[in-house]
Structure 1
Amino acid sequence: MINCEIKNWQGETVGEQTLELKTAKVENASHIVHRALVRQLAHARQGNASTKTRAEVRGGGRKPWRQKGTGRARAGSIRSPLWRGGGVTFGPKPRDYELKMNRKERKLALRTALDSRSVDIIVVENFSEQLPKPKTKELTSALTRWGVEGQPKVLMILSEIAENVALSARNISYLKMLKASNLNIQDLLTAGKIIITSEALAQIQELYQ
């Protein structure tokens, strides 16, 4: 269970909200979160690295010199892996890095990761109405009032990302915005602070429980 104070636009505490999530057992928690993180990082790989073998390199069909009598080492092709411009031995070929993990396990890992960051979670009221037009300075000031100044990376989770909020946030280099329905392990674990609106917290409770 996560108990959070709710802050308003001015940074004042105006209430409390609770998030109850079923998490993994203590002895299994780090293992299942690690598996989910490795899976996400693996799926981010394109897997399109490719090299040519000696059979695929153009040329090299003719024997460069006769087998005996020249004093040189015998050679059958100028595209041997031993030659400059030749093929590559055991080089990478296009492959799929997909790792399988059950949907229930993925959700459990996500809930466990979120629960482990309970100390760094800041819940705020929905503030989209406070930004009737794009204003980065106003949003930066609000982040300072909420206590996230000086963090190398801040994750903001919203139920819906309003256009003016997105435009106000896009120039803040350390801030990343996500919808509650698009949570992922990597962002949850790497963020210094996590800001969640009260609406997004309720949506997380509904979606991931």
Structure 2
Amino acid sequence: MPTVDVVDLNKRKVGTVVLPEEVFGCKPQYALVHEAVVMQLACERQGTASTLRRGEVSGSGKKPWKQKHTGRARAGSIRSPLWRHGGTVFGPKPRSYAVAMPKRKYRAALQSALSARLSDGGVTVVSDFVLAEPKTKLLAKVLAGLGLLSSTLIVAGESHHDLARAARNLPAVKLVRPEELNVYDVLRYDAILIPERELARVKEAWS
């Protein structure tokens, strides 16, 4: 059973907690993790690139000059892709890049990512996470005191309104609810900070 120390906001050990093995004690499946990251990034693509084809550019449909006896190459339309201001051949059109992935596979990928992050020492559990004021400077000081000087993913529920306000202006800090945990963020951020009372919700959402 994976066990980690529980610390307070001053990084003093106040106890230990057993993490849910079905979420944090899995054998990493790197192929699933890769598939999940590819899926997430593909789904985030806007797919709004668009070009005009020869039937959509402005211009007459009249033949520019007669077919023979002009000394020039034959031409049938000024909207030809060969011409300046002509249409684009096989250019992009708005489309969806979304890729589907079964929920059970994605859950297994997230469990693998969280287990790997825990084995690397990248998961910190705090007894409680309450700020005296919803100030960005105060949150940055707390994170520095916990030794989280690089990018940090904070897992906190909807009740942490002050924490969300304080984290908005820290570019290296992101706050997500337990239900919003995802593979890309788990891999992207160097550390994961979880209040002890949120572990039950993490288990409920991803076990």
Matched to 2:197, the amino acid is: E
Tell me, yes or no, if the aligned pair for 1:67 and 1:74 is still in contact at 8 Å: yes
Per the TM alignment, residue 34 of structure 1 is displaced from its structure 2 partner at its CA by 0.9
Query: 2 CA distance for matches of 1:24 and 1:125?
Result: 24
Matched to 2:122, the amino acid is: D
Per the TM alignment, residue 25 of structure 1 is displaced from its structure 2 partner at its CA by 5.1
TM-score by length of 1: 0.90
Runs of 4 or more consecutive aligned structure 1 residues displaced over 4 Å after TM superposition: 22-26
Query: 2 CA distance for matches of 1:61 and 1:141?
Result: 68
Tell me, yes or no, if the aligned pair for 1:33 and 1:109 is still in contact at 8 Å: yes
Unmatched runs of 5 consecutive residues or more in structure 2:
none
Equivalent in the alignment of 1:123: 125
Q: How does 1:193-204 map to 2 (within 5 A)?
A: 193-204=191-202
Query: 1 CA distance for matches of 2:96 and 2:137?
Result: 44
Alpha-carbon deviations, 1:100-136, whole Å to 9, x = none?
21111111111111111012111112222x32x3222
Tell me, yes or no, if the aligned pair for 1:159 and 1:197 is still in contact at 8 Å: no
Equivalent in the alignment of 1:167: 165
TM-score by length of 2: 0.91
Tell me the number of residue pairs that the alignment of Structure 1 and Structure 2 aligns. 203
Query: 1 CA distance for matches of 2:47 and 2:159?
Result: 32
Pairwise CA RMSD: 1.7
Matched to 1:123, the amino acid is: V
Equivalent in the alignment of 1:44: 44
Query: 2 CA distance for matches of 1:76 and 1:24?
Result: 65
Between the aligned residues of both structures, percent identity stands at 42
Tell me, yes or no, if the aligned pair for 2:7 and 2:13 is still in contact at 8 Å: yes
Per the TM alignment, residue 163 of structure 1 is displaced from its structure 2 partner at its CA by 2.2
